[in-house]
Structure 1
Amino acid sequence: MTNSTSVEALLDGLRAEIARLPPGSRLPTSRELARRHKVGPVTVTKVFAQLAAEGLVTTQPGSGSYVAPRRPSRDGVPGDVSWQAVTLAGRGGAVHPGGPREGGSAPEADDAPAALPEGGVLMAGGYLHRALQPGKALGAALARAARRPDAWDRAPTSGLAPLRAIFAKLVGNGTTPEDVLVTGGGQGALSMLFRALAAPGGPVLVESPTYPGALAAARAAGLRPIPVPMDQEGIRPDLLSDAFGMTGARVLYCQPGCHNPTGTALSSERRHQIIDVVRAAGAFLVEDDFARFLGHGRPVPRPLIGDDRDGAVIYLTSLTKPASPSLRIAAVISRGPVSRRLRDMRAIDDFFTARPLQEAAVELLSSPSWERHRRALSAALRERCGVLAGALAAELPGWRLDRRPDAGLHLWVGLPPGLADTAVADAARAHGVVVDAGHRYFPDEPPAHYLRLSFAAAAEPADLREGVRRLARAARTLGQDVLEKRLTD
């Protein structure tokens, strides 16, 4: 027999034998098969490789080959994936962006698209509604970028020089394009930063509350988020110093320009205090400046990295919030040896950000349409913020709004006693409005119940008024249920 005929004959024989045996049965050794079928060892090796590719056998080095678990033969019938529970055991477990969860289930990421009931009002998530995005300018920028002869060439790991120059100019204070690393969105940059700056199992300090995506990225990197309380001026320097001393942490994640979810801006008096505390601890401060282009008419405070000359602050900003969720372009700015580490890690992770997207970002940011969009967006966010705050005051006067922010996309609202954030969020969905429950923003147990309400995710300002009316009806329903329960207890 030719070699190909020998392989086919042995394959057919073993397939028939495997069909008769229960899963886990040990198959004859290669030597036994070669002797029984009068074939060479190369033929037997090819046959077992083919059977393994077909999912009929599994091989355990040093032990032998065995009949694999049966696979469903009909299309659409799900396979048995229960084996994964054993394989994944002890390898990190589920990521919980909002801290402890009832039932152990992980919530959606902060900016995941929320499932909107038919006819519902979306007041959740962290992106602009399509009506607020610069759709025409994005299309034009992408078309111009695609016409460049080098549009599909490989991009440098650090990013295109013109794009890095734009981000360097944004920060100022002697920042050069060489200090800039272009990444594929802010979330991926956070994941890289946490892995680069802290060892698995170590602590990372965060404002409390904070962005759930940062909590998720820290936990995915094997880190332990440690809360540092805030007040009306931002993160507290005294408690930050205590936290560094007690935990030995070497990383602080902070949003000084516009805090998500509260909208707080770090006071001018505390800017140098925070940097001094970080320097004294020999630590890094990761500055997440997500709202750099989301001001409401007033300038957003200058980046904190502008007050740092010693490389303690690592700056992060992105274009996904002010432009489009799919414009996955962010910039990390750092100084010193850490810059080399970040570039090397970036090269390992994914080499570089897609060049057409970078070219489109350069076109967009260099076009007069970008400044027009920024002005229009600023006016729209200011209007929507006022509409939502006014509707809350009129419909839900017992709810607490401590701050009307000067930037960002959200209001942070405290609930009155007796109302739990998860219960309100569930009741609101039943009434046709989607909101974010506040407990997801705390790394540990929240001190009170809050909701984060977006004024940028709805199509029109009028939708915000309708959303608050529905929210008020949901709250009244819950209040009646609580009262009835107290009367019957």
Structure 2
Amino acid sequence: MNHNHIYHFVSLQFDHSKKEPLYRQLYEKLLEAILSHNLSPGYPLPPVRKLAASLHINIGTVLSAYRELERNGYILTRRGSGSFVSGGAGLSSPPVSFDFSSPSDPGLYDMAHLTLDPAVFSAATLRSVVNRIIERDGSLAFSYTESQGYKPLRESVCRSLETHGILSSPCDIQVVSGSQQGIDVAARALVHPGDFVVMENPTYPGAAAAMRSCGARIIDIPTDRSGISMEALEKVLLKFHPRLFYATPNIQNPTGITYSQDRRISLLGLAKRYRFYILEDDYMGGLYNGNSAPPTLKSLDTHDRIIYLRSISSLFFPGFRLAFLIMPPCLAPSLKSIKQITDIATSGLTQRIFDWYLREGLWSSHLSSLRQACRMRLDFALDAAENYLPQSTSFIKPAGGLSLWITLPEGCSAEALSASARQKGFLFTPGSSFYIRQPSDSHLRISFSSVSLPVMEEGFRLLGTLCRALDRTQRSASI
């Protein structure tokens, strides 16, 4: 590697009178250069020893600064190749946080988390199923299953998928302990440090975290109401040759958009042509509003480019942590191996419970009643948003799911609104949590999954009031 670029760094100056450690000063100066794009993505940083010598500082100082930059996602270090800038220009950014738990303060109304109202689940039915399984299997119900998953469940899943146009066999199915583990297993099987991964923007932050943990350099692609921009995607494919694309084509999280059929077909064509895999996260599979579910990418996949991920526990009992992958045959060995290394096997009892629900028709009945309840909640939320939010507010009517993606009036800060709402007893999710880089402060994700209808109405009324109050404050300040 040519190290003549060292001249970019010799002008760095340190204040030795400061109490701040030198490594921290170096970190901040390098970070400033990265964020201002003076150091562009892929730019090679000088070797530790060479930079230390040129700046007349200790090798450990440079090493500590580099480690801090890498820990926060701004650079990527490859053994034998050196350190490279990864932040900016659509690539990695600092790690994001994500939290699935409900608020610990019982005085708060939760319109932030996508957690279903516990009242939609029949504890009596679950108790009966568990008792019958124990009567049938005895203590075997609590033993390990094979790492790939309880075979009767995999058979039941295959039969269920046939009704949605997905043909698979039990050997293609890998049971995992929740969709987050499914994302992590796929990432670890496919992504190596320095590999490029494409993601929608905005996207699910848990997926971004899993990709970053594998050393991925993330490229974000903008979305519109029909899906991702195919023009932008093809430019990225030509330039970066990514290994994986993480997508939620049905009821996308957080926007609620559903890809058009044309976009789906174009995406599969690009996957075949450029030989990348698509991790299709069907996290809301089954929770649609129409008479039939929109097609999955997997149902259209004729070249084994799709790794299909379906969550079960998110629409069942969330604490059960249950999901499954449909694996392309060539990836199956590595996916199965990584799952086994991760936690040996998913709970055998949980798998037996869901298998019983599938075989006895209880799952179909549960989904039907759940769709009806969520359709009513969605219609109520849309009416409340129309009635209480300012006319300059916009939102997408999703094809299903448990939330609305709200675009706020110009000048309204989602972070400020969320903080004010919390003081009034309501939790909303600022949209900035879902962006790979350059977070937008003009969006909110509003969940209608667990609060009562009167509380939901009050939440939208409060949001409208806060929007108008903030707008009046800004107008007064500008006079």
Give the TM-score band, short-chain normalised.
Answer: 0.7 to 0.9
**CA separation of 1:437 and 1:95: change in aligned 2, threshold 3 A:** farther
Specify the alignment match of 1:82 in structure 2.
Answer: none
> Are the counterparts in 1 of residues 414 and 443 from structure 2 also a CA contact under 8 Å?
yes
Q: 1:449 to 1:351 in 2, by over 3 A?
A: same
State the percentage of identical aligned residues. 27
Contact preservation (8 Å) 2:432, 2:440: no
Q: Deviations over 1:225-257 (max 9, x none)?
A: 211111111112222111112222110000112
Cα gap change, 1:183 to 1:403, in 2 (>3 Å): same
Which residue is equivalent to 1:469?
461
Q: Deviations over 1:87-106 (max 9, x none)?
A: x955953589xx99xxx996
AA at the equivalent of 1:185: G
Contact 1:158 1:352 in 2 (8 A): yes
Question: Is contact 1:436–1:451 with CA below 8 Å preserved after alignment?
Answer: yes
CA shift at 1:116, angstroms? 4.4
Per-residue CA deviation, residues 294-348 of structure 1 (Å, 9 max, x unaligned), is: 1224322122111112211000001122112112110000122201110111111
SS at match of 2:320: coil
Alignment check: 8 A CA contact 1:427 1:475 kept: no
2:270 to 272, 277, 293: 277
2:371 to 371, 375, 378: 378
**3-state SS, counterpart of residue 318 of structure 2:** coil
Report deviation, 1:422. 0.9
Shift of 1:111: 2.6
> Counterparts of 1:23-172 in structure 2 under 5 Å?
89=67, 93=71, 108-116=97-105, 118=107, 120-147=108-135, 148-149=137-138, 150-172=140-162
CA distance in 2, matches of 1:332, 1:127: 22
Report the secondary structure of 2:324's partner residue.
strand
TM-score (norm 1): 0.76
Shift of 1:221: 2.0
Aligned counterpart, 2:45? none
**Shift of residue 448 of structure 1?**
6.1
Give the CA deviation at 1:126. Answer: 1.9
1:262 equivalent among 255, 271, 277: 255
Corresponding position of 2:422: 429
Displacement of 1:450: 0.5
**Corresponding residue for residue 474 of structure 2:** 482
Q: Point out the more displaced range, 389-398 or 410-419.
A: 389-398
Matched AA of 2:130:
L
Count of aligned positions: 396
Tell me the CA shift for residue 175 of structure 1.
0.8
CA contact (8 A) 2:390 2:464 kept: no
1:129 offset after TM fit, Å? Answer: 1.6
Maintained 8 Å contact 2:191/2:215: no
Q: Give deviations 1:36-74, integer Å, cap 9, x for gaps.
A: xxxxxxxxxxxxxxxxxxxxxxxxxxxxxxxxxxxxxxx
Task: Summarize the Cα distance change of 1:476–1:430 in structure 2 as closer, same or farther, 3 Å threshold.
Answer: farther
Q: What is the rounded CA distance, in whole Å, between the counterparts of 2:415 and 2:104 in structure 1?
A: 16
8 Å CA contact 1:146, 1:356 repeated in 2: no
Distance 1:110 1:439 in 2: 14
* Greater Cα offset, 412-421 or 223-232: 223-232
- 1:90-149 CA-to-partner distances (Å, cap 9, x unmatched) read 5953589xx99xxx996641533234461x321111221212234333333333333322
Deviation at 1:486, TM superposition (A): 2.4
Task: Name the SS of the counterpart of 1:412 in structure 2.
Answer: strand
**Structure 2 equivalent of residue 222 of structure 1:** 215
State TM-score, norm by structure 2.
0.77
Q: CA deviation at 1:209?
A: 1.1
> Structure 2: any 5+ residue segments left out of the alignment?
1-63, 75-86
Looking at structure 1, the residues matched to 70 and 122 of structure 2 have their Cα atoms a distance apart, in angstroms, of: 40
Letter in structure 2 aligned against 1:177: P
- Provide the aligned C-alpha RMSD in A: 2.5
Answer yes or no: is the 8 Å Cα contact 1:395–1:468 preserved in 2: yes
Question: For the residues of structure 1 that align with 2:331 and 2:357, how far apart are their CA atoms?
Answer: 30
Q: Which runs of 4+ in 1 moved over 6 A?
A: none
